[in-house]
Amino acid sequence: MEKVAADIMHSLNSFPSVRENESVKRALDVMATVVKNRKQPYLIVVKNGSPGKQIIKGFITPQEIVFEVMGNYLKGADHIGPIYWEGQLESECEKAFRRPVGDIIAPVKICINATGKLMEAVFLLYKYRLGVLPVARCEEIIGIIHLDDILEEIVGMVPG
At 22-52, the pLDDT tens digits run: 999 999 999 999 889 888 788 999 886 655 6
Per-residue pLDDT tens for 42-86? 899 988 665 566 788 999 988 888 887 776 666 666 677 767 667
Average pLDDT of the chain? 86
Domain of 143, CATH number, reads 3.10.580.10
For 40-149, strand residue ranges (E) read 43-48, 54-60, 106-107, 112-113, 132-137, 140-146
| The pTM of the whole model exceeds 0.85 | no
> By residue range, what is the domain housing residue 81?
5-156
| pLDDT value at residue 53 | 67
Residue 75: in which H helix or E strand, if any? helix 71-80
| pLDDT value at residue 4 | 95
Domain count, the chain: 1
- Residue 10 clears pLDDT 70, i.e. is over it: yes
User: What gap in Å lies between CA 111 and CA 156, rounded to an integer?
Assistant: 24
